[in-house]
Amino acid sequence: MAAEIQPRPQARKPCLLSKIEAFQEVVTAAAIIPKEDGVISVSEDRTIRVWLKRDSGQYWPSVYHTMPSSFSCMSFNPETRRLSVGMDTGSICEFILSEDYNKMTPALTYQAHQGRVAVVLFVLEMEWLLSTGQDRNFTWHCSESGQQLGTYRTAAWVSGLQFDVETRHAFVGDQSGQVTILKLEQDSCSLVTTFKGHTGNVTALCWDPGLRVLFSGSSDHSIIMWDIGGRKGTAIELQGHNDKVQGLCYASHTRQLISCSSDGSIVIWNMDVTRQETPEWLDSDSCQKCEQPFFWNFKQMWDSKKIGLRQHHCRKCGQAVCGKCSSKRSTIPLMGFEFEVRVCDSCHESITDEDRAPTATFHDSKHNIVYMHYEPTTGNLLTSGTDKVIKIWDMTPVVS
């Protein structure tokens, strides 16, 4: 059913501990069980499985439950052992797991959405079950009675959801690239604000209540850190992926951000550094370095008898420049650019070797990731891939 990988010590790299391979379809969501050597998984093969590690070192299912339709998402609360599972049909089914994780008892069923459930989130402190669906509705239910308390219609299908217990703010990321903040009450909600920094879909959200910072990942390969608590409107970009960001988790004890993308990369970001906002791109009809006209500036082209040039932008200063004045490339890690980007010649000269020191480490999971879950109490990371395999990683060499 599952193989135990004997780890070999490798400095500063995630260490693969185990693989679980007994799936007929892709695992859409899974969670590591804290204080237990176990995993809960839901899959497109319509099964819920609870995996416990045996003395042999292998994971075997202690619970194997089949439903009439496929699962799209899940939320597990270890304190109450409550498992909330979103379905393709739009309903949410809840189960209570026994203390030894060998039995699962049905609890409530919520008729929450008219289409596939996208995200489900159980909030113990409020006794609320939050969910979003492809019907573009964000809803919250009472987890005791099952009664729907409220709903909010979003402009686009919601693909990311986080909640702050202290302020009762829900953070909703959608397919248009927008993030919406809603203030929830017992039976109503109000729009606080919206902000947009991504050119693609919001695919992942992560809220840290201590820093009061929201991280958003996108299909545009970027991550943005939004300073919600600082009230300064700061938005820091992190560019370190070559494919869609599939998962985010902030390790507050080490001030590191873990991100995964669909090409299989795992990136560990050091957030204990003073990062800088990327500049706004400036508008100009001519190069702000050599004053050569851009190709749409017909008047200057005619007056100077020069051919118009293509416009580019320096990623460090934001100035509009021509290709000749921005022929250099450089990493700018403190601005989030871990890969080399275009910079103007003068900025390139100002960037020191110390400025180029990486603030992230990059690791290959060797499978295309669709879902990730990090358990801070054990320092283990779970990744699920299109290869229908769950991998469990020891992250303590890199998240410490």
C-alpha torsion sign, points 136, 141, 146, 148: negative
Residue 227 scores a pLDDT above 60: yes
More confident residue, 344 or 294: 344
pLDDT at 231 over 90: no
pLDDT category at 307 given cuts 50, 70, 90 is: low
Least confident of 40-54, 290-304, 338-352: 290-304
* Residue from 339, 132, 340, 366 nearest 266 by CA: 366
Q: What is the predicted pLDDT for the residue at 145?
A: 93
Interatomic CA distance for residues 304 and 375, integer angstroms: 63
Concatenate the DSSP letters of all residues of 18-75 into one string.
EEE---SS-EEEEEEETTTTEEEEEETTSEEEEEEE-TTS-EEEEEEEE-SS-EEEEE
Lowest mean pLDDT of 87-96, 142-151, 295-304, name the range: 295-304
Strand partners, 322: none
Q: Which residue has the tokens 């970009």?
A: 237
pLDDT of residue 166: 94
Q: Give the pLDDT confidence score for residue 302 in this predicted structure.
A: 64
Residues near 237 by beta carbon (within 8 Å), at least 6 away in sequence: 197, 222, 223, 224, 225, 277, 278, 335, 336
Which tokens is 326 given? 């921005």
DSSP element (H, E) containing 374: strand 369-375
**For a pLDDT cut of 90, what percent of the chain falls above it?**
78
Q: For the chain, how many residues are written?
A: 400
Token digits of residue 340: 């080399």
Q: In the Cβ-directed half-sphere of 87, how many Cα atoms lie within 13 Å? A: 19
What pLDDT, in 10s, does the model give residues 160-207?
Answer: 999 999 999 999 999 999 999 999 998 899 999 999 889 999 999 999
| Mean pLDDT value of segment 368-374 | 97
Q: Model confidence over 242-275: pLDDT tens digits?
A: 999 999 999 988 899 999 999 999 999 999 999 9
pLDDT at 8 over 60: no
Answer for the pair 76, 85: CB distance below 8 angstroms, yes or no. Answer: no
Ordered domains of the chain (ranges, CATH)? 15-276+358-394 (2.130.10.10), 298-356 (3.30.40.10)
The proportion of the chain whose per-residue pLDDT surpasses 70, expressed as a percent, equals 92
Q: Which two tokens stand for residue 127?
A: 């006794």
For 276-295, how does the pLDDT look when each residue is reduced to its tens digit (9 = 90+)? 888 888 988 889 889 788 86
Segment 134-158 mean pLDDT:
94
Query: Does the pLDDT at position 95 exceed 70?
Result: yes
CB 267 within 8 A of CB 258: yes
- Average pLDDT of the chain to the nearest whole number: 91
Q: Per-residue DSSP letters for 64-127?
A: EEE-SS-EEEEEEETTTTEEEEEETTSEEEEEEE-TTSS-EEEEEEEE--SS-EEEEEEETTTT
The answer, yes or no, to whether residue 1 has pLDDT greater than 50, is: no
**Least confident among 47-61, 62-76, 278-292, 371-385:** 278-292
Whole-model pTM: value is 0.88
Pure H helices in the chain? 298-304, 345-350
pLDDT confidence tier of residue 5, bands split at 50, 70 and 90 = very low
